Amino acid sequence: MAPVMKFIRIDKENWERDLQKLRRSFRLIGPVKADQDCLFKTLGEGEFPDFNFLNTRLSLKSLVLPQSENMFEYSLDQSREDCHILKEVKRNPTQCVVFGIRPCDAFAFLLVKPNFDTPEHEDPYWKQAYGAITLVGLACDTPCSTCFCTSAGCGPYHEEGLDVLLVPADDHYLAKAITEKGKHLLKAVDWDTETAPGVAEKEIEARRLAAEKRITSFISTDHLKEKVTIDLYDAPFWEDVAFSCINCGICTYVCPTCWCFDIQDETRGKSGRRMRNWDSCMYPLFTLHASGHNPRGMKIQRVRQRFMHKLKYYVDKYNNGIQCVGCGRCIRLCPVNIDIRRVGELMNNYKPIA
Amino acid sequence: MKNPYLPYPVRIDEIVTETEDKNLRTFKFVFLNPGDQKEFVYQAGQFAELSIAGKGEIPIGIASSPTEKGFLSFTVNRVGQVTTHLHSMKVNDTMGVRGPLGNAYPWEILEGKNIVIIGGGFAFTTLRSSIVYMLDPKNRSKFKDIHVIYGARTPGMLLYRNEVAQWEKRKDIHMHITVDVTDDPDWAYNVGFVPTITEQKAPAGDDDTYAIVCGPPIMIKFTQPILDDLGYAQDHIIMSLENRMKCGIGMCGRCNIGKEFVCKDGPVFTLAQLTDLPKEY
Ligand SMILES: Cc1cc2nc3c(=O)[nH]c(=O)nc-3n(C[C@H](O)[C@H](O)[C@H](O)COP(=O)(O)OP(=O)(O)OC[C@H]3O[C@@H](n4cnc5c(N)ncnc54)[C@H](O)[C@@H]3O)c2cc1C
Ligand code: SF4
Ligand code: SF4
Ligand code: FES
């Protein structure tokens, strides 16, 4: 039998002192209040994570896939030997520890991984950045009305994707190492006060069940796999789904599982860099051919692509569930209230007219 | 694993203007680091990203054949930003090549079969690679009959004219060159659109006969029903697609048709595969 993972007790009164200690060897990242929102940022000297939030406006995907990132450098100076030759930029991402990531956002990295870490090619930027983070997740007892994680493959106490699960209690936290990385972290801060066997497990289990019950909105996915791609693609409902969309792209930028990017060169004087930037399937330029032909030139084609990718193509390609963790950001932030739960319902229940 | 986005540095060794409108040029590249050439192992049908620092990258089919050693060649149509800049570059300029990328024509399946190559316009590049590969003395015996139907708008728009004339003279390949129109009284070959010539000249389809079709959408659209009539099964018709690309390795997300990435799962597909996918190309 696998050894039972023990819960470690961390007293809140020592919390700041302990984090201070960690700061010597890691970059600490955590949620902080900004305007009415909460954002993840690097915690400076004297700053500590603020756990009093529902969910952050943006996910943590930019930690691993920055909105803009240098890939190569080059010189256009003809007098130089290496003129026109791309050079790798130095990369040694600092080891960092994220405090307070929600389990859904951590699980999102696992859904994105098969895109960047494949048997044929590895994306070195994504892989190194992902390898350099330790994720200390905050169990979620206060979901938003738009959260539907429990039907999207994860949940408020979901462990997969986290290195440590942190559960807040009155005057302490309970921490559970999920991975070797997590164990290593607990050791590094001397967090080793084991709780009495069985007690914390029972309490957490009860809290997990209660938290899951608080999630009252769902996405239906059970029939997606058996649907025929072309049937869904040709379904009549896309016209209606896409009607109000203004192609702003917000849904894709805020989504922790959207990974599309563009590659661009930027030259200043005689030197420059090749970089990659977030891109979005919501924009016509994404697929425009030099000839002027565009396979997804119309809005309806782009809106359909977004949902088909998340709820059908991904499902079929990776056998790994849907490409969505149910964080609800796209629903909360869409200016015209397009709702992936409703589209999922349409797709999941669709029967082509024979 | 190595950085799949890093191009190999190359030097432009030769530039040939192919067509009378001067919009198509063939660029021959030599690797700057001899070791890189050994790593660049490719098959006919694959493509590469041509990379120009400060301008960007473009996916281009490899026009040279794996049997031609010591260089790579690509035939590039001038249309937009990167292709226009490339056309202004000179012999001995330095740039980059990243690849090989995508899948090749299915050579394991094609061995021992009759091959019918149908090409139109400047999509003939990887077809040239395929023909040179099959005609190589070491390979010719691996294939049965080879037919080539190749059309361009006018005689002056045909690519690789000297080579095509050489192939015309050979007995082990059946060439059917055609142009849409010509007022050249000495034109010794066919006049007519590719679908028409296919109808007249292509052998009937059977289990042992595969067609490889590359060309503009309009040509493909009208050639397809003719191949149907000739008895070609959908899984015996092989096509190569083009979609806008950036990464070329299935990661940036833009070139998909359904769940398949044209850059990684293609660009070569059978017609049978394509009928199950959205027509987003
Ligand atoms: C597998 C494959 C093989 C190809 N083989 C050839 C060939 O042998 N010869 C040839 O002349 N052309 C070929 N093309 C088309 C060629 O890639 C485009 O014409 C070229 O990218 C246009 O670049 P541009 O910068 O001049 O145009 P712009 O319109 O300025 O394009 C900007 C960028 O968009 C992307 N892009 C635009 N159009 C296309 C397109 N049709 N396909 C892919 N990416 C595009 C490129 O990244 C390009 O740099 C091929 C395309 C693919 C996908
Ligand atoms: S956020 Fe809403 S309006 Fe904007 S692109 Fe997404 S679905 Fe369309
Ligand atoms: S699709 Fe919407 S709900 Fe799902 S993970 Fe992305 S932003 Fe969250
Ligand atoms: S070009 Fe990036 S996924 Fe195909």
- Interval B45-59 mean pLDDT: 97
Q: Which residues in B lie closer than 8 A to residue A117 (C-beta atoms)?
A: none
- The yes-or-no verdict on residue A35 having pLDDT over 80 is no
Q: How wide is the angle at C-alpha A235 spanned by C-alphas A229 and A237, nearest 5°? A: 135
If you average pLDDT over residues A201-211, what whole number do you get?
Answer: 92
pLDDT of residue A38: 85
Q: Which residues contact A26 (CB under 8 A, 6 or more apart)?
A: A94, A95, A96, A97, A134
Which of the residue ranges A53-57, A102-106, A129-133, B151-155 would you say has the lowest mean pLDDT?
A53-57
Residues of B in contact with A86 (CB under 8 A): 6-7, 51, 53, 96
Q: In angstroms, rounded to a whole number, what is the distance separating the alpha carbons of residues B256 and B182? A: 39
**Residue B94 belongs to a domain:** yes
Task: Establish if B269 belongs to a structural domain.
Answer: no
Q: What is the pLDDT of residues A272-305, one digit of tens each?
A: 999 999 999 999 999 999 989 999 999 999 999 9
CA of A221 to the centre of ligand 4 (A): 27
Q: Is the pLDDT of residue A258 over 90?
A: yes
Within a domain: B140: yes
Query: What distance in angstroms lies between residue B242's CA and the mean position of ligand 1's atoms?
Result: 8
CA separation for the pair A156, A214 (Å, rounded): 9
Flag whether pLDDT at A2 surpasses 60. Answer: no
Tokens linked to B240: 């190569």
Query: Per the domain annotation, does B280 fall within a domain?
Result: no
* Chain A residue numbers touching B56 (CB-CB < 8 A): 263-265
Count of CB atoms situated within 10 Å of the CB of A131 = 11
Contacts of A79 (CB under 8 A, 6+ apart): none
Among candidates A264, A287, A301 on the partner chain, residue whose Cβ is nearest the Cβ of B244: A287
E strands present in A156-310: 164-168, 172-177, 261-268, 271-278
Mean pLDDT to the nearest integer, A40-46 = 91
Backbone angles phi, psi at B124, to 5 degrees: -85, -5
The CA-based angle A208-A210-A212, given to 5 degrees, is 70
Chain Cα centroid distance, residue A106: 6
Tell me whether residue B279 is in a domain.
no
DSSP class of residue A305 equals H
The 3-class secondary structure across B38-56, one letter per residue, is: HHCCCCCCCEEEEEECCCE
Indicate which CATH number applies to the domain containing B54. Answer: 2.40.30.10
A198 pLDDT band, cuts 50/70/90, is confident
A318-327 residue pLDDT tens: 998 999 999 9
The predicted structure's pLDDT at residue A5 = 65
**Beta B114-120 vs B209-214: how paired, if at all?**
parallel
What is the span of the domain harbouring residue B174? 107-240
Q: What is the mean pLDDT of residues B258-271?
A: 96
B96 with B115, same domain: the answer is no
Q: Which amino acid is at A265?
A: D
Residue with tokens 């009495």: A196
**Tokens encoding A185:** 């972290």
- Of chain A, the percentage scoring pLDDT greater than 70 comes to 98
Tally of CA atoms within 13 A in the half-sphere of B113 that contains its CB: 20
Nearest to B278 among A116, A230, A259 (CB): A230
Tell me how far apart the alpha carbons of residues A51 and B81 are, in angstroms, rounded to a whole number: 49
Q: In degrees rounded to 5, what are phi and psi of residue B241?
A: -100, 160
Q: Output the six-digit token pair for B109.
A: 């399946």
Query: Domain total for chain B?
Result: 2
Q: Is residue B211 part of a domain?
A: yes
- Which two three-digit tokens encode residue A181? 């990385």
| pLDDT for position A67 | 96
R_g (Cα) of chain A, nearest Å = 22
Which CATH number goes with the domain that contains B216?
Answer: 3.40.50.80
Binding-face residues of A in 96-125 toward B, CB within 8 A: 115-116, 118, 120-124
- Residue of minimum CA distance from atom 2 in ligand 2: A334
Rg (CA), chain B: 18
Task: Quickly tell me which residue has 């209040």 as its tokens.
Answer: A33
**Contact A320/B at CB under 8 A:** no
Residue B39 lies in a domain: yes
Question: How many angstroms separate the alpha carbon of residue A154 from the centre of ligand 1?
Answer: 40
- Both tokens of A246, joined, read 């203004």
User: Per residue in B192-217, pLDDT tens?
Assistant: 999 999 999 999 999 999 999 999 88
- Nearest-atom index, ligand 3, CA of A310: 1
Question: For testing the chain A interface, which of B1, B2, B5, B86 should be mutated: the one with the most A CBs within 10 Å?
Answer: B5
How large is the average pLDDT for residues A138-163? 95
Ligand 3 pocket test, candidate residues A327, A332, A343, most atoms within 8 A of CB? A327
Residue A48 reports pLDDT greater than 60: yes
The alpha helices in A223-324, defined as continuous H runs, are 229-233, 238-242, 250-253, 299-308, 314-318
Residues in a beta bridge with B52: B56
Q: Within this chain, do residues B188 and B232 fall inside the same structural domain, yes or no?
A: yes
Share of chain B above pLDDT 90, in %: 94
Same domain, B114 and B226: yes
pLDDT of residue B109: 97
Please give the number of the atom of ligand 3 that sits closest to the Cα of A104: 5
The pTM for the full model equals 0.94
Do residue B147 and residue B199 come from a single domain? yes
The C-alpha atoms of residue A184 and residue B2 are separated, in whole angstroms, by: 29
Q: How confident is the model at residue A4 (pLDDT cuts 50, 70, 90)?
A: low
Instruction: Indicate if B120 and B227 belong to the same structural domain.
Output: yes
Of A116, A264, A317, the CB nearest to B251: A116
The tokens of A327 are what?
A: 């964080």
Three-state DSSP state, B174: strand
pLDDT in tens, A210-223: 999 999 999 999 99
Size of interface A-B (CB pairs under 8 A): 125
Do A286 and B254 count as a contact with CB atoms less than 8 A apart?
yes
Structure confidence by residue, pLDDT tens digits, A99-147: 999 999 999 999 999 999 999 999 999 999 999 999 999 999 999 999 9
Query: Given ligand 4 and candidates B245, B257, B269, which is best to mutate, with the most ligand atoms within 8 Å of its CB?
Result: B245
Pocket test for ligand 4, best of B247, B260, B280 (most atoms within 8 A of CB): B247
Q: pLDDT digits over B66-119, tens only?
A: 999 999 999 999 999 999 999 999 999 999 999 999 999 999 999 999 999 999
- CA nearest A81 in B: which residue? B94
Task: Count other Cβ atoms within 10 Å, centred on residue A239.
Answer: 11
Chain A partners within 8 Å of B3 (Cβ): 88, 124
Task: Classify residue B59: in a domain, yes or no.
Answer: yes
B214 and B89 both lie in a single domain: no
Q: Residue whose CA is closest, atom 7 of ligand 3?
A: A255
Q: Tell me, what amino acid is at A101? A: I
The answer on B198 and B152 residing in a single domain is yes
pLDDT of residue A1: 41
